[in-house]
Structure 1
Amino acid sequence: MNLNIFTRQDTRIALFLLPAIYGFNNYALFGSTYFERWDVFLLATIAIILIWTPAYFLHAVPAVWLRRRFPYVRQIAMRLCLAWGIHLVMSSTVILACFYGYAWFRFPGFVFDAGRLQLTILLTAIINLIVNVVHESIYTFEQWDTALREADQLQQANLRSQLDGLKGQINPHFLFNALNSLSSLIEEDPEQAQQFIDEMSSVYRYMLRANETELATLDQELAFTRSYFHLLHTRHGDHLRLEEAISDQYYQHLIPPLTLQLLLENAVKHNVILPDQPLLIRIETSQDGKLIVQNNLQRKNSRMLSTKVGLANIVTKYKLLGEGDVAIEDEEPYFTVTIPLIKMYDV
């Protein structure tokens, strides 16, 4: 998932807390003198703003780094403890610099008090803890809300994919072609007709189950794709070919369900398939853990423009999953789609 590291709420909290930090530190430094003398009040306020404004936002540097290094909800305790420790060191350094620096410069109205210094560092430790808890609570809530919204978007993308797949299979044109092929097979080759029915049943069964999960193993997708391709091959004959070159180590990797079906459908829909112009679709894995689906380009002379809904669904799913980008190359002589494979233990 693509999550924000420094949020708007962090900035709003900073703008709300800074005036309180200015007042707290000046009172710790000067005591009641800060409010009793206008010259002290004015000079001290200007000085503390110049010191603590950059110091406070400098605290965001380790906070952002920790969110990148430990981004998960289960790591919130570790992130909070580390942030508190680092921020306590940073805040204490600034406070020590103020106390000893003001004494060295003989700042008007300032009298060094070691007891007040110790109390200020103690209170700063407590304040730092509270501020870190507030930041982490809001950050965690925002990440949870973002994850929920992305999960909802992914579910919608899955449902669109299911709908598009079912439309492609249940529309009258597909059923007419499938039943026409089946009718011919029943007379010519009853055994092949039975196999056609079995494969058609497998296709529909898989598609109806596919909405139950966001990811499927490559092995499952390939088994479904072979059934789907059998229906296409029965209609188009040997002019439509499918090749597989899958490394054994990737069979248990994951991809969104129906991804391969959408790519096969896209290839068949937009390319000429003739005896002298066969269409070859190749599915292979690369050494860097990518799935490559490629077909030779022989575009149909059609006035209908491609809506590219199927490709858009695949791209959207990977974007929401945050598992890498889908690369699409549409240049002669091949149309190539490269898809990241997801390791099962990364999910």
Structure 2
Amino acid sequence: MRLKLPEYSGKDYFVWAVTLLPFTMALNSIIFGSRYFTDGTIFLPTTLISAFVFTLDFTACGGIALLLRRRMPHEEQTSRRLFLMIFCFVDLSGVFLLTLFHGYEIFPSFNYTFNEKGFIWAYVCMAIINIFLTLLMEGISRYNNWRENLKETEQIKKTFTQSQLLGLKSQVNPHFLFNSLNTLSSLIQEDEGEAEVFLNEMSKVYRYMLRGDDEQLVTLQTEVKFIGSYTHLLEKRFGQSLQVKLCIEEEDLEKFLPPLSLQVLIENAFSQNSMTKAKPLVINVCSNSTNEIRVCNNRQPKMISNDMDIESGLDNLVAKYRLLNAASVVINDEETQRCISLPLLREKGGEA
């Protein structure tokens, strides 16, 4: 079992390494004066002893800092946390200094007796060092958090961009466009009125997917409206072999979800399953006022080439919710049915 030392900022022991020698030399020069530098029997042992004491003090202060951060993690508690940290550190350092000063009296070769004035000077210096190191560690911790948040923000943007590209890939690729145009061509020959409706719905689908905004969330109402046009194209192409049924509670329509989420799940379903008029693929999209929307389909697996990455869109959607710090996407696979539950967010900030 590895011993894990407490770390507050991630750079604690780098700071310890940088400050260890200057601190021990300054402290011992206060205690012994010029003898510390001129007497080799004092210099080496006292440097090692004070370095050991400083390390114990530094590690104990790190443990206290972590404990206080766990107890007071919120931004508005920062001032109180820093005050308590400094208070505890100064008190604890006083105990260690007192132990060190009296400990030196044990060694006859040091020829040292407790010096109250020297202790007071050392204690004042130690208090100043504690205040400086506390603020330094807090600054480093905040900088690291800022870097992590910046990295996470960039990752969110990257994931949303990839998601949009995946959505476009599934629709704008030549196969989908060819199939849509082929269906349109057939309708023109059979029913010009229906062909006009199909073309109108097709333009809505492409307009939504090629929209120029960078919104990370849209209302469920907007997404459902898009899905209505999207499924119209699919149902005209597959006929009764594919059935998409929507059952959405009105109060859920103003909640939010990432754009193209439902399209990803519907595409995932018909990409993996076979469908015929006798055995149609039925996809149910339902919400029930529980801050989630469920997309369920009967399972009729078809043979899929190994080089087809059919789950990439779903994986991307799961990562997107994780980066939004929202509730997780729940995937429930049974023998005859797959259900995927997407959290609905109450506001654009991402709160479920």
Specify the alignment match of 1:344 in structure 2: 347
Whole-Å separation in 1 of the counterparts to 2:231 and 2:42: 83
Specify the alignment match of 2:13 in structure 1: 11
- Aligned to 1:339, the other structure's residue is in SS state strand
- Aligned to 1:49, the other structure's residue is in SS state helix
Specify the alignment match of 2:172 in structure 1: 170
Matched pairs, number: 340
Q: CA deviation at 1:298?
A: 0.4
Whose relative contact order is higher, 1 or 2, with alpha carbons under 8 Å and at least 6 apart?
Answer: 1
Specify the alignment match of 1:130 in structure 2: 132
Q: State the TM-score, normalizing by the size of structure 1.
A: 0.80
Whole-Å separation in 1 of the counterparts to 2:182 and 2:281: 22
Specify the alignment match of 1:332 in structure 2: 335
Matches within 5 A, 1:152-163: 152-163=154-165
Q: CA deviation at 1:288?
A: 6.3
Unaligned 5+ runs, structure 2? 1-6
1:321 aligns with 2:320: no
Whole-Å separation in 2 of the counterparts to 1:213 and 1:88: 47
Residue 234 of structure 1, aligned match among 228, 233, 236: 236
Q: CA deviation at 1:212?
A: 0.6
Larger displacement relative to structure 2 (215-224 or 247-256): 247-256
Residue 282 of structure 1, aligned match among 271, 281, 284: 284
Matches within 5 A, 1:195-274: 195-209=197-211, 212-247=214-249, 250-274=252-276
The answer (yes or no) to whether the contact 2:201–2:232 under 8 Å persists in 1 is yes
Q: 1:98 corresponds to which letter in structure 2?
A: L
The answer (yes or no) to whether the contact 2:255–2:346 under 8 Å persists in 1 is yes
Q: State the TM-score, normalizing by the size of structure 2.
A: 0.80
Whole-Å separation in 1 of the counterparts to 2:189 and 2:71: 66
Q: 1:262 corresponds to which letter in structure 2?
A: V
Root-mean-square deviation over aligned CA pairs: 3.4
The answer (yes or no) to whether the contact 1:295–1:335 under 8 Å persists in 2 is yes
Report sequence identity in percent: 33
CA gap 1:317/1:116 in 2 versus in 1, 3 angstroms? same
Whole-Å separation in 2 of the counterparts to 1:287 and 1:69: 35
CA deviation vs aligned residue, 1:229-288 (integer Å, no higher than 9, x gap): 222122223332223454555444433222221111111112112112111222344776
CA deviation vs aligned residue, 1:110-155 (integer Å, no higher than 9, x gap): 4444444444443333323322333233333333333333333332
CA gap 1:34/1:180 in 2 versus in 1, 3 angstroms? same
CA gap 1:300/1:80 in 2 versus in 1, 3 angstroms? same
CA gap 1:93/1:229 in 2 versus in 1, 3 angstroms? same
CA deviation vs aligned residue, 1:190-212 (integer Å, no higher than 9, x gap): 55444333322222222123761
CA gap 1:46/1:10 in 2 versus in 1, 3 angstroms? closer
Whole-Å separation in 2 of the counterparts to 1:270 and 1:169: 16
1:93 aligns with 2:92: yes
Q: CA deviation at 1:345?
A: 6.6
CA gap 1:58/1:169 in 2 versus in 1, 3 angstroms? same
Specify the alignment match of 1:60 in structure 2: 62
Q: 2:202 corresponds to which letter in structure 1?
A: M
